[in-house]
Structures are given as structure tokens and as C-alpha cells.
Amino acid sequence: MATIDGLPPLREVIATHGLSARKALGQNFLLDLNLTAKIARAAGDLSGCDVLEVGPGPGGLTRGLLAEGARRVVAIEKDARCLPALAEISAAYPGQLEVLNEDALQVDWAAHLTPPIKVVANLPYNVGTELLVRWLTPKLWPPEWQSLTLMFQREVAERIVAQPGGKAYGRLAVLAQWRCSAKIALTLPPEAFTPPPKVRSAVVHLEALPEPRFAADPKVLERVVAAGFNQRRKMLRAALKGVAPDIEDRILAAGLKPTDRAEQVPIEGFCALARQVAAG
């Protein structure tokens, strides 16, 4: 069957290049080009943007991004078996696709892209959270990227967009929502992938805010939040004991109760506490 970009259907690409999925590389491929176009559209208008994609695999999402008008796509793929399939896409979109056969955790991606930059990826689940945390904790804010549109296990996606008061609310929610707007753009059943993973998946869309919602030193905030949620069943006064000697006074000065638990504390409260801790 003909495809919109004149390239072969993805099942054919996989068969031609012998791309049997490898579990160790988190390979669950999307073969429906309508679906990959939908994910690309969840990133908003791509025209005039460079897109960073991690883990293009056989290139379903890459094709979606290019068909939706991305100026350029830089795709980092660890599995060299995928390179011939990706070279066919490069040939169909001359000068618009650069493939780096590297480990996304090792590569200096920003050197390959020109702003405005959007990150769009069906991430390998084994490195997805690590990459997200790195993107959310750059040296400077606003970051080099404008938005992140990323596939995660549904449970991780729910942790990213969680509100205070529930089990899903934790370090990831605070980290993500302190300086970004965050929403689940779409959810996908296991059958959308080949092979189907055990869990449901969801695409999260994060947009970088020009400034954090509340003032705080990022490193201090990270320390306070990590301590609070590392022992999330404990009250703040016990969980944060190691953060500062007079922590109970600082909790009160931040307008919080020493008997609160971290999961009840909104982002504004963590930022107030980080300011109190940083006050010396």
C-alpha cells in the first residue's frame, strides 16, 4: 500500500532490514503512520523548528515529524541495525534528517541543533526517566528546548502530571511542573506497539515556562524535594531532618506544618521551604 511520504510501509521496512525487536534496547515499535503523525502533531507547530528525536528505530515517528513539517530532525539511535532504514528517510527528505548512531545518555545533542528546538520521542523505557530528569535540570533556564513531547509508561506519565494529595505526586511532578506546563496529550493501548509492551503508554507534552512558577534555587529545591519524598510516609520534620539542623523552624517559616507529609505539599510550599533552607 502507498504511504503519504512514498516510503514503504513500516512492516516492510522492518522485514527488509531484519529489525526484530530487542528487549534490552526497549524496542517497542509504532508501525501506524497515522498514529505517529498524531504524536508529531501533539508537539504543536513544527515548521521552523529543529526536532530532537531519541530512538527513531525503524523511523515511524521520524517520518511523522518530517511529514508534519519539521525544519530538521536530529535522531539519536543506539542500534546500528536501524541505520539503513533511516538512510532511506534521509534520502526522501534531503538535508532534513541527521542520524547520530550514539547512546542518547552520552551525546551532546544541543551542538547538533539550532533553536527553536522541540524534543519529540517514543523513548526507550529503560532510559526515559533519566533523560527527562536531565532535560528538566539544565544549567540555565529557559532551557535550550521549547517543549518535550514524550512517550512513557502510563504510570510514569501520571507521576509527571500529578497534583498534590495522591500517591502519584512526587519528585517528578515537582521537577516537571515547577518550570513547565505539563499534560497528557494521548494514551495508547499496548496493541499500538510491535511487540506490545505489558503496560499502557501515554504521551506527555511539557512546555518550558519562561521563568519558574515560584522562586527557588534549583539545587536546594531538588535536595528538599528528594529528602521529602525519599521517606514519603514520614512527617516533614522527620523526613527533612538531615537537610538543616533547625528544620522545624524553617518549615514553619515557609508556612508549612512540621506534621505535613511531602505528598500534601504543593510546589509553592516546596519553593518557600527551599528559600528558607537557602537563607543560611
User: Which positions lie near ligand SAM, rule CB under 6 A?
Assistant: 25-30, 54-57, 60-61, 76-79, 82, 103-105, 122, 124, 127
Contacts of 33 (CB under 8 A, 6+ apart): 3, 4, 9, 10, 60, 63, 64, 67
**Cα angle: 156, vertex 217, 229; to 5 degrees:** 40
Q: Which is nearer to ligand SAM, 63 or 72 (CB)?
A: 63
Smallest Cα–Cα separation from 251: which of 260, 242, 230? 260
Tell the smallest beta-carbon distance from residue 74 to ligand SAM (Å). 12
Q: Which is nearer to ligand SAM, 57 or 269 (CB)?
A: 57
Nearest residue relative to ligand SAM (C-beta): 55
148 C-beta neighbours (distance < 10 Å), count: 25
Q: Which is nearer to ligand SAM, 152 or 169 (CB)?
A: 152
Tell the smallest beta-carbon distance from residue 153 to ligand SAM (Å). 11
Contacts of 15 (CB under 8 A, 6+ apart): none
Smallest Cα–Cα separation from 161: which of 262, 251, 267, 82? 267
Distances in Å between the Cα of 130 and the Cα atoms of 92, 106, 124, 146 are 33, 12, 11, 19
Distances in Å between the Cα of 138 and the Cα atoms of 51, 212, 258 are 18, 13, 31
Tell the smallest beta-carbon distance from residue 274 to ligand SAM (Å). 32
- Distance of alpha carbon 168 from alpha carbon 184, whole angstroms: 14
Tell the smallest beta-carbon distance from residue 141 to ligand SAM (Å). 25
Tell the smallest beta-carbon distance from residue 105 to ligand SAM (Å). 5
Contact status, residue 132 vs residue 161, Cβ threshold 8 Å: no
Q: Which is nearer to ligand SAM, 56 or 170 (CB)?
A: 56
Q: Which is nearer to ligand SAM, 76 or 206 (CB)?
A: 76
Q: Which is nearer to ligand SAM, 57 or 143 (CB)?
A: 57
Contact status, residue 122 vs residue 160, Cβ threshold 8 Å: no
Tell the smallest beta-carbon distance from residue 1 to ligand SAM (Å). 18
